[in-house]
Amino acid sequence: MEIRVSKNDVIWGYVAMVFNYGTGLFTLPFILSMLSAEEVGMNYLMLTISNLVILADFGFSQQFGRNITYVLSGVQRLLKEGVSSEANSTINYHLVAVLIRTARYVYMRLGLMVLLLMLTAGTVYIYHVTNGFSSVSHSLWIWLLFSVSVFFNFYYKYYTALLTGTALMMEYNKSCMYSKIVYLLICIALLFAGYGLMSVVIANFVSPFIQRYYSYISFYSREIKDKLRGEQVSKQEIKDTFNTLWFNAKRLGLIFVAQYGISQSGIFFCGLFLSLPEIASYGLLMQLVGGVLCTCAKSLFNTVTPLFGKDIVRNDKQALVRHFSLGNFVFWVIFIIGGLLIVFVAPWMLQLIHSNSLLPSTLIMVIFVVDALLDYNRSNFTYIFMAENRYPFLKADIYTGVAVVILTFATLYFTDWGLLGVVTGRFICMLCYNYWKWPVEASRKLQVSITYLVKVGWQESFMKVEAIIKNKK
């Protein structure tokens, strides 16, 4: 099985993006107009909590995916840090089987831990922000069903690692698309049936099973089944592989925790100090920028990311520069255009659909969009290091995450700045170091300037567009 990204992978990446977030945008007017501001606010808080407990993944998803890429690229032995130089054209399918079994082992146990956390600490938090489950009808049952749906979403994460690690990006995108279509149909039908916020939760509960089914039939092709048939994996091999992956997974997990503090702590603390309508406003902005816009902008970048590991194994720095530059350049173009639309067009659209929830002020939106652009750009550059199985930005992310959490809490507790204080504090903390440090370090690693990466990104984009036009002719 060769690790490669075809034109179909790229095309399906954008098709899936349209469906994934087209469905989200399609359902959003119904949610905003048919649910109360309190229900919308609770919905965003539930999503925030699920993002918090999913940190229990602790970087295993990326570790499994990256190491599968290494093995399918010819690596014969997994290392705690770095990439083994013992690579050849023969794929070690026994090692693939060990990785799969270890992934199942890890995600079942982590999933149960996630469920326990949501049913205990999560329930206490929701009880507090809903005034004893009184501000939203059936809020307790909504939360319990949502908790179970998060468990299944979490457990099936290892399929994402399998598909992305083998560069089956088209199949992965299809699985996401089919899942979102089912979500759309169920959510809209139940909203019109009058089930309120429960409509969203039921749709979230059903959709993961669709994605899991398609992911299974996509990964376990006849070739893979034949290669893995008869491969016996011992408990000791699972234990040894877990220990190998845990060395960097715990580092990546700490990075995720820090990044949660950076990106999600704002709305979490807002739940303690601000009203549900204000939370709905901030959550809506986060969904449009961090969910819809970011995913659209990073679609191509995420598609080519599996190639980074392959380029590292083969020591092909020129290919790595091309792949990265193309993905990051397209990200910038799409994000800037989309950010302008969110700031200047989205408020008018919400008024048009008579939304019960509105976006924050223009100033807050501008700061948030610029902050998000620089944040995701920084994140893109860190993939250069992660492709080498290294995480030099760990300490910086932890320190910055702690600073953001402290400043956000202090701002909400001691001032009346509200959302403006939340977005401004985060922006200042990140601008001090992270936003410029890692793009500079990554370009030094590649031995090229940032302007050169932009130039290559423009050239690669132009060639891709030119090739598409010629093919149509």
Kindly report, residue by residue over 350-379, the tens digit of the pLDDT.
888 777 778 899 999 999 999 999 999 998
d(C-alpha 312, C-alpha 384), whole Å: 9
The pLDDT of residue 34: 85
| 240: confidence class by pLDDT, cuts 50, 70, 90 | confident
pLDDT of amino acid 284: 86
Residue 125 falls within a domain, yes or no?
yes
The answer to whether residue 2 sits within a structural domain is: no
Number of domains in the chain: 1
Q: Among 46-55, 398-407, 433-442, whose mean pLDDT is lowest?
A: 46-55
Q: What is the pLDDT of residue 16?
A: 60
pLDDT at 258 over 80: no
Give the residue, 163 or 340, on which the prediction is more confident. 340
Mean pLDDT of 213-231: 84
**Is 31 a member of any domain?**
yes
pLDDT of residue 199: 92
The band of 336, judged by pLDDT with boundaries at 50, 70 and 90, is: very high
pLDDT tens, position by position, 150-178: 888 888 888 887 887 776 777 887 888 88
Kindly state the average pLDDT of the residues 284-291.
Answer: 85
- 54, amino acid identity: I
- Domain that residue 171 falls in: 7-472
| C-alpha dist (Å) from residue 373 to 178, 264, 297, 331, 354 | 29, 16, 10, 9, 29
Q: Residue 459: its pLDDT value, please? A: 87
Instruction: Please check the confidence at residue 420 and state whether its pLDDT lies above 80.
Output: yes
Report residue 393 CA to chain centroid gap: 19
pLDDT tens digits along 171-207: 887 888 888 888 889 999 999 998 988 998 999 899 8
79-96 pLDDT per residue, tens: 766 666 565 667 788 888
Share of the chain above pLDDT 70, in %: 87
State the pLDDT at residue 68. 80
In the chain, what are the helix, strand and coil shares in percent, each to the nearest 5?
80, 0, 20
Calpha distance 400→431 (Å, rounded): 10
**Does residue 409 lie within any of the structural domains?**
yes
| pLDDT given for residue 341 in this prediction | 94
Helix axes 419-431 and 362-386, enclosed angle (nearest 10): 30
- Position 6 pLDDT exceeds 60: no
pTM for this model (two decimals): 0.63
- Which of 217, 157, 160, 208 has its CA nearest to residue 183? 208
Q: Is 445 a domain residue?
A: yes
Asked if residue 1 is part of any domain, the answer here is no
- What is the pLDDT at residue 364? 93
Select the more confidently predicted residue: 455 or 84. 455
